[in-house]
Amino acid sequence: MNDSLERLIAALEQQTAAINKLAESNMALVSIVVDGDAAEAPAVDEVRYMDGSVVRVPS
């Protein structure tokens, strides 16, 4: 039982480390998107669905 508990704790520590790493990379990605140059973003009428139809944004 003690061995099982130790393995569970080790697995939870590894899982926590992986989740923290994922959260850090997500925050880095968000900061890149937020800090990105708006001039580089395509205009809404340039955004298309995979079938080629224009994405319409309700106003």
The DSSP secondary structure of 5-58, one letter per residue, reads: HHHHHHHHHHHHHHHHHHHHHHHHHHHHHHHS-GGGSPPGGG-B-TTSPBP---
Coil, helix or strand for 1? Answer: coil
How many degrees, rounded to 5, is the angle at CA 46 between CA 49 and CA 37?
A: 115
Q: Please write the tens of the pLDDT for every residue from 1-58.
A: 799 999 999 999 999 999 999 999 988 888 877 777 555 665 555 678 889 887 777 7
Q: Is the pTM of this model over 0.85?
A: no
